[in-house]
Amino acid sequence: MSKFVILLGGHLTVTDRLKRQIAGARVLAADSGMRHAEALGVEPELWLGDFDSTSPALARRYEHVPRRTFPAAKDMTDGELALSEAFALGATSIILCGAFGGMRADHTMLHLTMAVAQAAEGRDILLSSGIEEAWPILPGKYNPDLPSGTLFSIIGFTELQGLTITSAEWPLDNVKVPFGSSLTVSNVVRGTLGVFLRSGCGVLVATLEGERDRPIVNTTR
């Protein structure tokens, strides 16, 4: 498996869990996502984007990193460009670091929907801010690696049919969740979480209990 990390421009809190997750991965940076490189102790092999949100100081600090520059008027975000490049380089597993928060809620929503679309193509994608993680949920069975006590929600992007949740504070057994329902918001892992979905799509979003009190770093785009 070829694992890649893509540094995006949202919030990022560096935790031991995140460091373990990214260990051994190849790294790409999308525009201002490069500011997370030092805190994570990584150096990207390629820096992509239109660089409209990269500060002069950051540009100078990483002027030795190969760049691929795109016009501001383009059909893809810098994050999507980096994702496409990772797949072109043979990525089979991707962690989007800095996928949540920042000044652009539209980018956060795009990252979530983009991950679901890529998962539908059979690709393995995790989104992380260090404190929050998200996985695309499509028809099938899932056992996300989450500690007992973790707060999690399943957000449907469609109606969810045949949803089963086991080892949780509020288990479900083969239920239908209407689109827009809050039924699957704010559950808690109790043991080894299991999720099964018969049809539909969405995301599982988890808040890591042990990380919530850590200070948020690198939050300026």
Least confident of 54-63, 67-76, 113-122, 172-181: 67-76
* Gyration radius from the chain CA atoms: 18
Question: Are 165 and 191 contacting, i.e. CB atoms less than 8 angstroms apart?
Answer: no
pLDDT at 216 over 50: no
Question: Are 45 and 27 contacting, i.e. CB atoms less than 8 angstroms apart?
Answer: yes
Question: Are 8 and 99 contacting, i.e. CB atoms less than 8 angstroms apart?
Answer: yes
Residue 45, token pair as written in the block: 């092999």
- 5-49, pLDDT tens digit by residue? 999 999 999 999 999 999 999 999 999 999 999 999 999 999 999
- 165-210, pLDDT tens digit by residue? 999 999 999 999 999 999 999 999 999 999 999 999 999 999 996 6
User: Would you state the pLDDT for residue 131?
Assistant: 95
DSSP state at residue 130: S
d(CA 165, CA 195): 5
User: Would you state the pLDDT for residue 195?
Assistant: 98
d(CA 101, CA 108): 6
Closest CA to 101 of 218, 186, 22, 208: 218
DSSP state at residue 58: H
Cα–Cα distances (Å) from 208 to 14, 145, 151, 205, 213, in that order, read 12, 11, 7, 10, 10
d(CA 38, CA 21): 16
DSSP state at residue 8: -
Tell me the residue ranges of DSSP E strands in 124-207: 124-128, 132-137, 140-142, 151-156, 160-168, 172-177, 187-197, 202-207
User: Would you state the pLDDT for residue 86?
Assistant: 96
DSSP state at residue 54: -
DSSP state at residue 203: E
Closest CA to 166 of 193, 144, 141: 193
User: Would you state the pLDDT for residue 1?
Assistant: 67
d(CA 193, CA 153): 12
